[in-house]
Amino acid sequence: MTMADKDAATEVMEAFTEFKKTNDANLKKHSSDLEAKLDKINAALDKHEDGSQKLVLIEKQNKAMQDQLDAIEKIANRAGLGGAGGEQAKAVREYLDAYDRVMRKSPENRNADDMKLIRDRSNALVKGDDTSGGYLLAPPDLQADIMKDVIEMTPIRSLATVRTIGGPSLKMRKKVGNGSATRVGETQRRGNTGDPAYGMLEFQAPEMFARIEVSQQMLEDSDYDLFAELREDAADQFALKEGIESISGTGVGQMEGILVNAGVEAINGGVADKITGDSVLKLFYGLKTAYARNAVFGLNRLTLGEIRRLKDGNGQYLWMPGIANGAPNTINGASYVEMADMPNIAANSCPIVFADWKKLYVIADRVAISFSADYVTEADDGLVVFRARKRVGGGVRQAEAGKKLKIAA
């Protein structure tokens, strides 16, 4: 840990100690002065949230990359690919090697030839159905512009499963019904006890579009790379749209929102217009253990400020700083990620989701961002038209992998 890290850790721990002391006093005798002091300390703690958020997202991204590489290794070793010496296996190996080199470098230092090989191989290897394993060949963070921007908004790409598809939609098989078992006597007839049932999920990849007009003279006279600036602006708009839709999208002509999907169970908070420690714990323990192991809370910053005040039944604070140990801050021992598009605490709102996001949500990329300049259409008015487009969809794929907390009316 560097000296700067130590200073930050000391500042956080001292601020949290003062926060607990002030909050305890406010719980005993509420006052506007204590409320103002709590808000001030909350703001001081917020200054260090970026580091905690990065730790959480890096951890999730590293796990996703390792899972991805493991899956591709399996593809490369399939008998149908000709083993280590087969042509397809060789193509996969070249892809893996380039991918490994790329992921060891920051976006601005990545080799252009490696990036081109990855794009070309992905297009060649990705197929229209997931039985081929093709969907696994699209690293979610290779589109550096989107990754950089989404992390500052609702970082759904860093948490969800991302698949690149070769057709208009992503189809995934899903078990929708289970068989059963029963007891039987020694010579009793054994009848059918029920059959498992299977269905198909489908996620369309509709188009996002951005159109920007800039004067020809501005392009000529600009003293910086305006083309790059416009591309970045378009990426920002797509990232913003993705983040909003992943939380509250209708699923019709756009991504499906987690809070919109009826299959994601709502845990009732039980208290009108506010959040309580008991309700957060109810949400935490409402998720099945298999999902809870990898689960992360999603909430906005205002909600986080309220959670810092909450205690469990033993008087222990739910929010705990982790910066002193180089670990993320936690809520009841689980990591959390700020999601700007989650609603605030209010009657009937769902301000918190607790989920294994990779199991809960999938993003289907059909066409990466394309950007073109049109010098003809508006030339008579001295304008250049820039058009950006992207085809992407997404939605809830395994609803029981997440729960949302609903505030009472």
Segment among 128-142, 253-267, 345-359 with least mean pLDDT: 128-142
CA 297 to chain centre: 11
pLDDT at 127: 38
Q: What mean pLDDT is predicted for residues 237-260?
A: 94
Question: Which amino acid, one-letter code, is at 291?
Answer: Y
DSSP run (H or E) holding 354:
strand 352-355
Question: pLDDT tier at 378 (50, 70, 90 boundaries)?
Answer: very high
The amino acid sitting at 18 is E
**Strand-strand pairing, 352-355 and 402-408:** antiparallel
> Does 103 score more than 70 pLDDT?
no
Question: What are the angstrom distances between the C-alpha of 100 and each of 7, 33, 142?
Answer: 35, 54, 12
Q: Where are the domains of the chain?
A: 143-174+200-300+339-409
Residue 239 tokens, joined: 């990232």
Per-residue pLDDT at 115 exceeds 50? yes
Please provide the average confidence, as pLDDT, over all residues in the chain.
Answer: 81
Q: Which amino acid is at 264?
A: V
Average of per-residue pLDDT across 314-319: 92
The whole-number pLDDT of residue 74 equals 60
Place of tokens 């670990």: 327
Backbone CA torsion sign across 58, 62, 67, 71: positive
* Residue 131 identity (one-letter amino acid): T
Average pLDDT over residues 249-260: 96
Give the β-pairing of 334-338 and 296-299. parallel
Q: What pLDDT, on the 0 to 100 scale, is given for residue 180?
A: 87
Contact 265, 404 (CB under 8 A): yes
Q: Name which of 1, 45, 33, 7 is nearest 309 in CA terms.
A: 45
Stretch among 39-43, 266-270, 321-325 having the lowest mean pLDDT: 321-325
Q: Can you tell me the mean pLDDT for 360-385? A: 92
- Cβ-count burial 124-153 (b if 16+ within 10 Å, e if not): ebbeeeeebbbbbbbbbbbbebbbebbbeb
pLDDT band at 247 (very low <50, low <70, confident <90, very high): very high
Least confident segment among 11-20, 34-43, 56-65, 380-389: 56-65
Residue 144 reports pLDDT greater than 70 = no
3-state class (DSSP) for residue 12: helix
Q: What is the CA radius of gyration of the chain?
A: 25
User: In the structure, what pLDDT confidence band is assigned to residue 353 with cuts at 50, 70 and 90?
Assistant: very high
Residue-wise pLDDT for 78-90, tens only, equals: 544 444 456 666 7
Cα separation, 154 vs 299, in Å, equals 9
Report, as an integer, the average pLDDT of 3-32.
75
Backbone angles phi and psi of 57, in degrees to 5: -70, -40
Residue closest to 393 by CA, chosen among 235, 204, 245, 143:
204
The CATH architecture that domain 143-174+200-300+339-409 belongs to is 2-Layer Sandwich (3.30)
